[in-house]
Amino acid sequence: MHNKSIAELAKGLRSGEFSSLELTTAFLDRIKRHTGLNAYITVAEELALEQAKAADARLAKGSAELLTGIPIAQKDIFCTDGVKTSCGSKMLDNFIAPYDATVVEKFNDAGAVMLGKLNMDEFAMGSSNETSYYGAVKNPWDVNTVPGGSSGGSAAAVAARLAVCATGTDTGGSIRQPAALCGITGLKPTYGRVSRYGMIAYASSLDQGGPMTHSAEDAAIMLQTMAGFDDKDSTSVDLPVPDYSVGLSRSLEGLKIGLPKEFFGEGLNADVAATIEAAIEEYRKLGAKVTEVSMPSLRLAIPAYYVIAPAECSANLSRFDGVRFGYRCENPADLTDLYTRSRGEGFGKEVKRRILMGTYALSAGYYDAYYIKAQKIRRLISDDFKRALSEVDVMMGPVTPSTAFGIGEKIGNPIEMYLSDIYTIAINLAGVPAMSVPAGFAKGLPVGLQIIGNYFTEDRLLNIAHQYQQVTNWHQSAPKGFE
């Protein structure tokens, strides 16, 4: 059952081939057998079994939706009522959320079963899932390598069949990069398409939740539930949500694909490049036309991002002060000591680094020189995307410059770690949608193809990914030992 798609499982549940309780129990047993990946922070076994029984009752009444009874898992950045929401941090190790995030609420309303909360880089700050207070997550394709971050737990759980699908969040590539390194499908929607209410903020103008699945078809089903306007989120966009599944089979004849030349230069691993080129050749066979495009401002994406994102994180994380909720130091001498030691002991090294960077960029005398200049660069990057996407339907390229790197290999070199997101960060700065699709392997490790679209064209991206997955089977590959 663990290798079936959402649609196949939904059909089996409706026909009575198996119950949600049986399906959920099977996944809970798999999770217990594969704890070595460290993909889960919290396994909500009791809650999952209760939700499975409720789903079975709903199925018996004939009032089920497509996700009713399907075992999913939530990245531990989404607040879940009555269940620990830690954000991968010691700061929130004792935090039991008193409400559900809108995304969680939507899945609950659809009758999905929550298996638990997935491991992640602390406060979503990282590209390898090594900054988590709960330890590094391991890539199921090679447990000596990282699964990517910050949604590494989500990617590893889906790849290892420890959940049918999972939620992730993407601030600078944190859905697409781990999806690529773990050989699954991951979609970052247009900024504002999915509500951020109850999703603990890292960088508010960049964060976006999205689905992590095996296939584009499953991603379409998940996004159908996740997307939509939310009056509790001031950044939510009030636009109709299309039926993401209805256009999956649309022909790609005449599709115009742009290849950003900045994605194929120095720094791209030769084996990864060859895999991406082979994937693009498949699109040519499907009737697409390929041309080169240029986005000169992309070279400024990483420095601009690492001013804007830390500045926003500095403001967002100021609420964690040891007073209202979260970690509090023992026996503080006074208020200053309470603040200093609670934050010093509660936050990890990478989070502290980004808070300091952001506070510096926002400080008097440096705000204009750094933050304002970074925002101007952001506009240039956005203009580059608009210009390029007026010439082509979508753009394609690699998600990452290499396959999964070794655990511990880059954690001591922040600059090298930041560069692993070189092909993903600009998409968040512009706010456009993009996804990672399994495109093959390089020396035994997965490679992801990135597909980038114009604002609110998730349906087209899913169609383009789905058609590729009809002529390839990379998305069906399973790591050895997790088949």
212 three-state secondary structure: strand
- Residue 334 to residue 325: CA distance in whole angstroms: 18
Stated as kind and residue range, the H or E segment containing 379 is: helix 373-391
- Residue 166 to residue 292: CA distance in whole angstroms: 34
Between strands 185-188 and 434-442, the pairing is antiparallel
Strand positions, DSSP E, 156-231: 165-169, 185-188, 209-213
Between strands 113-118 and 71-75, the pairing is parallel
- Residue 157 to residue 169: CA distance in whole angstroms: 15
Residue 437 tokens, joined? 């699709």
Burial of 36 (0-12, 13-18, 19+ CB in 10 A): exposed
Residue 412 tokens, joined? 């001591």
Question: Does the active-site annotation cover 75?
Answer: yes
Question: Does the active-site annotation cover 150?
Answer: yes
- Residue 14 to residue 68: CA distance in whole angstroms: 10
- Residue 136 to residue 134: CA distance in whole angstroms: 7
412 three-state secondary structure: coil
Radius of gyration of the chain measured on its C-alpha atoms:
21
Q: Which among 75, 90, 138, 410 is annotated as catalytic?
A: 75
CB atoms < 10 A from the CB of 248, how many? 20
Q: Which among 19, 132, 150, 195 is annotated as catalytic?
A: 150
- Residue 209 to residue 423: CA distance in whole angstroms: 19
Q: In what order do the strands lie in the sheet with 40-43?
A: 40-43, 113-118, 71-75, 165-169, 209-213, 185-188, 434-442, 445-452, 394-398, 256-260, 289-293
Burial of 289 (0-12, 13-18, 19+ CB in 10 A): middle
For the chain, give me the number of helices (H) and strands (E)? 15, 11
Before 294, cis peptide (omega within 30)? no
Q: Which among 89, 174, 195, 215 is annotated as catalytic?
A: 174
**Phi and psi at residue 405, in whole multiples of 5°?**
-95, 170
> What's the one-letter identity of residue 228?
G
Nearest to 72 by CA among 132, 181, 142, 162: 162
DSSP alpha helices (H): ranges in 150-261? 152-159, 176-182, 216-226
Active site residues: 75, 150, 174
